[in-house]
Structure 1
């Protein structure tokens, strides 16, 4: 590690706070990081209200409010290197599901029509203004390093921070979650889509081969594949692979449906339609990024309208 302490600022925007907690998941390795880092601003550790100058700035969460936008701009001004930390910062995250509804619909539901809310008005001054869209931070400021994950895995956190502290280039990987999955793909005679509430998957066979929707093949490996290796279908929390992001006419449902159709007897159009009916789940983590939202194949409002009509 560098003999001189490197100044570090962190700030959270619209998120759950889990990404900040994930820093503690470094366990004893956090001591190695702290030997070389001086934490100046961190919502869970310090009471610093301003934005002191720093070499590294970690931003978690997406931009959803006026405060989020202000904080991101100030961090960019004061930090030499900005890390988009976590899937919300990189792709917009779960908040992106809000794009399927108007700002007015969301505010009405939360403050006026929710069965657990006891207000009859929408606050105008007590909370920060809600922006029209959920926005990944690189659409507002320049980002130097992306570290997706919900939250980022300790392995990649340590690898990325160590590289920055030592002045080296972080290792860039493009493997999918499937690359670390121990299950075996095989052709099957499955004819129907299954879910975990109705059936138990075999421990050794690929979920797609068994008729279970799994996003491992279209999700970037920033987790070391714990879910599929422990009996849980991948939900795509680390965001899409570069193949999905860069190919304009391919997306999550087209890729998964074609692969699953080749492994089973389920027609690809049946799989694709099933994914469209639960699109807010399958696209939950990345629909806010323009790389997904602007695709001609991504028609979230149309799919929701079809579900509601049925």
Structure 2
């Protein structure tokens, strides 16, 4: 690759968080752009509609609409290397919740039952929804994956510089627990507490104690560290926004809910089957970021639709 490489960025169905993470490189961004990269396309910073040839193409967002398919194909045609940037193109992202519902159900909920919408007719002048949310590599060949919601700026700059130097970006093998400073300890806790429930005066949370030891569901042990674990540091359990850990990805028989339940049951007095049921009741929360990915859908233990039906809709 030449000393001055060209970079093109496109967003599909996403929230622009990954583009903002790119902009959050702050002083590192101008240095890279000045010395190594010519930015030829990025919708959040420049009004460019054309798809131009580029050495590296970064794509954010998932494949959710007919327009997303066309945009992804155009990027693949124009770019030598395609990078899936963020959890949405890598695993499908929160849009994967559509896996639990039909398109008709989604549109009815949004345009008919929605109390803030004045019309009962879904728009017809926008790109059509696909039947299911899909990952980027379901439509085009992807060369590099950088998950995260959004990816930490440090991983973005490391990935970009690796590509410019002709090597693959480093993907760590660690989970979020590796970065977390909370200690796993055995406790006498016998009741599950929802992760978003604030502690009561009679049951204060220990900022140095693992959430699982407190009876609070946390998916840090089954989530790939692409974030540097900021949530546990400020008192919020991990909801797996960076996608599954390496063992979950590589081993078909390993499922996130059973792995979390086994660990939590070992640390507390809560029965493992009770923890599994609790996770199934909140399946759309704990699997939200990756349920569109074949990594979960092809697992024999992943029965999301059954769980949602059994719990009257899921959460």
TM-score bucket of the superposed structures, by smaller chain? over 0.9
SS in 2 for 1:146: strand
SS in 1 for 2:312: helix
User: Do structure 1's residue 152 and structure 2's residue 156 form an aligned pair?
Assistant: no
**Does the 8 A contact of 1:245 with 1:251 survive in 2?**
no
Unmatched 5+ residue regions in structure 1? none
Count of residue pairs the alignment pairs up: 308
Partner residue of 1:244?
248
Separation in 1, partners of 2:175, 2:205: 21
SS in 2 for 1:281: helix
Aligned-residue CA RMSD (Å) = 1.5
User: Do structure 1's residue 18 and structure 2's residue 17 form an aligned pair?
Assistant: yes
Partner residue of 2:266?
262
How far 1:3 moved relative to its partner?
A: 7.4
**Pairing of 1:202-281 with structure 2 (within 5 A):** 202-281=206-285
Separation in 2, partners of 1:66, 1:9: 21
Partner residue of 1:305?
309
How far 1:267 moved relative to its partner?
A: 0.6
Partner residue of 2:51?
51
Partner residue of 2:42?
42
Partner residue of 1:93?
93
Unmatched 5+ residue regions in structure 2? none
> What per-residue deviation string (whole Å, max 9, x for no partner) do you get for residues 33-61 of structure 1?
11211111111122221211100000000
Partner residue of 1:119?
119
Separation in 1, partners of 2:184, 2:293: 31
SS in 2 for 1:223: coil
Separation in 2, partners of 1:62, 1:262: 37
> What per-residue deviation string (whole Å, max 9, x for no partner) do you get for residues 98-128 of structure 1?
111001111111122211111122223x110
**Does the 8 A contact of 1:261 with 1:267 survive in 2?**
yes
**Does the 8 A contact of 1:97 with 1:288 survive in 2?**
yes
> What per-residue deviation string (whole Å, max 9, x for no partner) do you get for residues 125-164 of structure 1?
x110100010010111111111111101011011101111
How far 1:9 moved relative to its partner?
A: 0.7
SS in 2 for 1:113: coil
